[in-house]
Chains A and B, each alone.
Chain A
């Protein structure tokens, strides 16, 4: 049906197109649109608006009668008196930089390497993609094996295991953020790799041939022809990298619940919203801040996508 509809000249016949829908079509359509909309309203917009409302209150999360208006006090508190906040913002930025400069290019590199017709490329693909599918708990255990101060592989390789010089990868606040980012990259790169592999397969082979005929070497072919041709994938990857750095959470939570040098905005939200130390107002305000920050890349992405559709 949609195919048929799009074939019709868009301007003149529009009203008639609507008439062509039978009553059953209308019913099916409204159910298909209505149910997801309702779910979205209930699970996404409702809680989002509630959070925004709660961020302007003081509440212990127990009794509704304890709910008091607080104006912008929670935001003031976060910006001025809440020591983990600014480190968390810094760490999120660092995370973005790290993924952008190391994690994502690494994924691209893996994809390009695996795209060459090397033997067993399927096996390598699976190996690199496996971390993306592992659970948070498993990742914590795996990296513990590398990073443990007394019995970890890294200190063993460095020859410092069991000595006072052993590096406490998770406990030393100067290094644990780097350790966590390496662990995050381990997953992120596999994810980016799969997307780029798909992108590379989609690049028209004749483009490469044409470039080769023009005398371009492999590197020139890739950077001047193939990479620009993957523009849609590139945009998705940029957005994903930004979002991954904003929602970075699981690795640090497994290590130490986002304390002692591993403060991240998402971890602070959970610390304030869940558990005995529940301060709903502050937690909601942190969530709103995170929401506003995440909206920037999402809006940018949507605007780009829709503008392109309009032009097309």
Chain B
């Protein structure tokens, strides 16, 4: 450990100056947007190359983006230099990244998470690109790609629904049937527990996966609109509707993997593969973990059952795509690249490698769809409302600083203080 060897002389200062350095850096960097605004608007350059910042660092999506870049190069002759950063790091450093020297194009998400940075002037709008590729996308996707100012900022690449995944063979062997309602779900869980299974696979060491359960219960209990309003803090957390969500969840807690707080979603995927758990609520990216084709063919999907209202109409299906940084907005090659990802051709190149995510463009080649992919894409297509995910629909600080500890302590002892959630939300949203 480097700083330990300094500890004899100035032990505490080394680390503290690092922390303060972060603060100082932030102050210094905050000036950058102004500078960029002054020097900008020079019109597009004739660059034949671009840099591409990618948070898709896991093996499968990483190779998929490599395929996209290769296809783009063949088509346009422009070269793409990729900077791949570990997924979580990329997200954690996005603030400094966008204010420092970001790449021209980069991977990001739809929803509040995109609008927030667009509002701060850190992104370049891509309306001209949308004029060319707009026909490829549904209205829901168009809406999700639009910032608060009405301009478009995102070109969607893929999305993936959340729901219960399970092993067909296990269910057939035990004679389980897919539950449509919450009561049926509970009955099924009780049966699975009797059979010696952990009914619902669950992992929350990283803190975010539990948000999926919260989102679904909230939408199914209070409706899609309430969920969106709560995420945007137009609704108070300190009300019965919210505590009802947690009360309903309590009925599921005994069926969820008690080891959740110590394992990652990859660990829980392994347990599903090993038939230790009966089903697992996660996004369809979970299938990336099943490298054995036999297991993959055995995976089936089940939309979250209805609880009180809206049936199963709302689906949680986060959209990932490409954005242009302020600087990248002036690079025609970068515009061409994000346009390419919005075409069937570009999305085919991606989907050929990463089949766990669904292409979003109309006309993308879906002939290679597995029955599972077909079911997933039908679920999204028939949805009346598509939510992103709590950490994409809400203020980032709310998601990571408030919800993660709150959900983890709820998982631990089944209690949650909605009054405190509200007072934290008030303070954090006011700071933005």
Contact = CB atoms under 8 A, between A and B. Distances in A.
Contacts of B398: 277
A176 to B, nearest CB: 8
B234 interface: no
Interface in B196-240: 205-207
What's the dominant secondary structure at chain B's contact region?
helix
Interface in B99-129: 99, 113, 120-122
A51 B30 contact: no
A171 B397 contact: no
A284 B259 contact: no
B266 interface: no
Given A58-B430, A171-B205, A271-B401, A243 B24 contact: no
B1 A136 contact: yes
B91 interface: yes
B290 to A, nearest CB: 19
B17 A62 contact: no
Interface string B22-34: 1110110011010
A252 B258 CA distance: 21
Contacts of A149: 259, 262-263
A287 B7 CA distance: 19
Contacts of A95: none
Interface in B370-426: 396-401, 404-406, 408-409, 412, 417, 420, 423-424
Given A59-B431, A81-B427, A294-B12, A44 B20 contact: yes
Interface string A128-157: 000011111001000000000100000000
Nearest to A164: B258
Nearest to B271: A150
A14 interface: no
Contacts of A60: 431-432
A160 interface: no
Given A59-B431, A149-B259, A43 B21 contact: yes
A168 B205 CA distance: 12
A260 B428 CA distance: 21
A247 interface: yes
Interface in B164-218: 205-207
A83 B205 CA distance: 18
Interface string B1-17: 10011011001110111
Contacts of B24: 46-47, 50
Contacts of B27: 50, 64
A269 B19 contact: yes
Given A54-B23, A168-B261, A243-B11, A279 B428 contact: yes
Nearest to A239: B11
A73 interface: yes
A282 B401 CA distance: 11
Contacts of A290: 16
B95 interface: yes
Contact of A63 (B120, B428, B430): B120
Contacts of A43: 17, 20-21
Nearest to A49: B20
Interface size classification for chain B: 35 or more
B405 A273 contact: no
A105 B412 CA distance: 35
B291 interface: no
A259 B405 contact: yes
B1 A250 contact: yes
Given A64-B30, A81-B420, A274 B261 contact: no
Nearest to B401: A277
A169 B31 CA distance: 45
Given A243-B12, A279-B397, A287-B19, A61 B405 contact: no
Given A51-B23, A171-B259, A247 B92 contact: no
Given A44-B13, A276-B94, A259 B412 contact: no
A23 to B, nearest CB: 32
Nearest to B258: A164
Contact of B400 (A66, A277, A287): A277
Given A61-B26, A240-B7, A247-B12, A168 B262 contact: yes
Contacts of B91: 275-276
A145 to B, nearest CB: 15
A133 B91 CA distance: 30
Given A247-B15, A256-B205, A171 B401 contact: no
A246 to B, nearest CB: 7
B361 to A, nearest CB: 28
A133 B5 contact: yes
A274 B263 CA distance: 24
Interface string A259-298: 1100000100111111111111110100100110010001
Nearest to B260: A171
B19 A270 contact: yes
A84 B30 contact: no
B294 interface: no
A61 B19 contact: no
Contacts of B427: 73, 77, 81, 282
B405 A277 contact: no
Interface string A227-255: 00000000010001001101101100000
Interface in A144-189: 149, 168-173, 187
Q: Which of A66, A83, A139, A294 has the most CB of B within 10 A?
A: A83
Given A134-B1, A171-B262, A275 B92 contact: yes
Contact of B23 (A70, A273, A276): A273
A223 B86 CA distance: 53
Q: Which of A133, A250, A277 has the most CB of B within 10 A?
A: A277
16 contacts: A62-B120, A83-B406, A132-B1, A133-B4, A168-B261, A171-B205, A240-B7, A243-B7, A256-B206, A259-B207, A269-B19, A273-B19, A274-B93, A277-B401, A280-B23, A294-B16
Given A63-B33, A133-B5, A171-B261, 7 more contacts: A60-B431, A82-B424, A132-B4, A171-B260, A250-B1, A256-B205, A276-B94
